Amino acid sequence: ALRGSFVTKAQKATQRSQYGLQIQASYKVAILGAAGGIGQPLALLVKMSPLVSDLHLYDIANVKGVAADLSHCNTPSQVLDFTGASELGNCLKGVNVVVIPAGVPRKPGMTRDDLFNINANIVKTLVEAVADNCPDAFIHIISNPVNSTVPIAAEVLKQKGVYDPKKLFGVTTLDVVRANTFVAEKKNLKLIDVDVPVVGGHAGITILPLLSKTRPSVSFTDEEVEQLTVRIQNAGTEVVEAKAGAGSATLSMAYAAARFVESSLRALDGDGDVYECSFVQSDLTDLPFFASRIKLGRKGIEALIPSDLEGLTEYEQKALEALKPELKASIEKGIAFVQKQP
Ligand code: NAI
């Protein structure tokens, strides 16, 4: 039950509505950067959710067509488009969940940190508008480098006096999705059953899959652990290289982001059994932000789950210590970016 099962729960919800036990579509979701590579398929997946009544799509260009197109799908939510800074406030009013995939993606040879200069400003500006217009919303940050953009968002919200650490999330669901897929393939397991917690951050070695905590319980050789860990850490780069300059992961990312949105909506709707991994403010380690499994509830994070970090293997313990300096530096870079501004 500790599994974030987007597909099965969504299917059950659809079935329930087919049998007349009407699911109340009542939540408003905004996607900022909705015309992009992630934004478009994410908007489609969110449009399919029976829990969404209003889907607000914002971008600096090209979002009208995306909204017109999606609005023809006969699912409950009403789709509205918003273009440019002057329409951002209206896009955000009354929204329950804001998802931010706005910004530039990587090209071959780039690290996520290379995106900092452009995306830091974009995230700062967008989160300022969130603070002004829907300070109670769950905020899902997808724009990279997540290890820095989440601390940036936190600082902006603090400056605005509306920071609620229980409602700010760095989206690391794709790392979990990848880990689940690769482990199921390697071990010949049924995909739907596999759940691997991924902790730390969302870049290179800061991505730490805890393979020893895989459910169902499964054993790996040292070689398998090394190979799977490295593949999960570099999976984003695998896609960047295959796309050869045309961007980074968009479809798998949209799938992962939609799962995190659905989990958040279920939590808002009172489901008491919603767990996901996410990069959040945390006291599980000595770092101020850390990705771990969290329990979601109506008010955001109900609990951080410390048990995954107990009884680590020697490999995992070493990897955890090794990732801390890099993650710490990325967090501090984000905080400094906001604090140094007038
Ligand atoms: P994209 O370039 O296809 O789309 C980005 C969209 O953001 C564009 O439509 C653009 O017009 C829009 N945008 C730019 N500035 C904006 C602003 N100020 N306000 C609103 N929208 C703005 O990029 P893609 O592939 O969709 O990636 C988006 C971000 O997601 C990148 O930073 C990428 O690194 C990140 N990403 C994160 C992942 C994760 O696991 N958290 C995985 C994959 C990508």
Atom of ligand 1 nearest to the CA of 146: 41
Q: Encode pLDDT of 13-60 as tens digits.
A: 555 555 444 566 799 999 999 999 999 999 999 999 999 999 999 999
Please count the residues of the chain: 342
Percent pLDDT > 70 in the chain is 93
Is it the case that residue 8 has pLDDT exceeding 70?
no
Assess whether pLDDT exceeds 60 at residue 292: yes
Distance 269 CA to ligand 1 centre (A): 28
Q: Which residue has the tokens 């902790």?
A: 199
What average pLDDT is seen over the chain?
94
Reported confidence tier of residue 334, pLDDT bands at 50, 70, 90: very high
Q: Per-residue confidence at 177, pLDDT binned at 50, 70, 90?
A: very high
Q: Residue 117, exposed/middle/buried by CB under 10 A (0-12, 13-18, 19+)?
A: exposed
Residue with the two structure tokens 């010949």: 188
pLDDT of res. 7: 47
Contact (CB, 8 A) for 331 and 288: yes
CA of 34 from ligand 1 middle (Å) equals 8
**14 vs 193, which has greater pLDDT?**
193
* pLDDT for position 2: 43
- Going by pLDDT thresholds of 50, 70 and 90, the confidence category of residue 219 is very high
Q: Does this complex have an ipTM over 0.95?
A: yes
CA 277/CA 115 separation, integer angstroms: 23
> Which residues lie closer than 8 Å to 243 by C-beta, 6 or more apart?
none
Digit-coded pLDDT (tens) for 108-132: 999 999 999 999 999 999 999 999 9
Residue list, ligand 1 pocket, CB within 6 Å: 32-33, 35-39, 59-61, 101-106, 115, 119, 122, 126, 142-144, 146, 171, 174, 202, 247-250, 253
70-106 burial, b at 16+ Cβ within 10 Å, e below that, comes to: beeeebbbebbbbbeeeebeebbeebbbbbbbbbbbb
Q: What is the pLDDT of residue 342?
A: 72
> What pLDDT score was predicted for residue 60?
98
Give yes or no for residue 241 having a pLDDT over 60.
Answer: yes
Q: How far apart are CA 183 and CA 196, in angstroms?
A: 8
Residue 202 is a catalytic residue: yes
**DSSP 8-state secondary structure symbol assigned to residue 195:** B
pLDDT band for position 341 (cuts 50, 70, 90): confident
pLDDT tops 90 at residue 78: yes
pTM of the model: 0.94
Interval between CA 170 and ligand 1 midpoint (Å) = 14
pLDDT band at 218 (very low <50, low <70, confident <90, very high): very high
**How far is Cα 326 from Cα 146, in angstroms, rounded to an integer?**
13
- CB neighbourhood size of 274 (10 A): 22
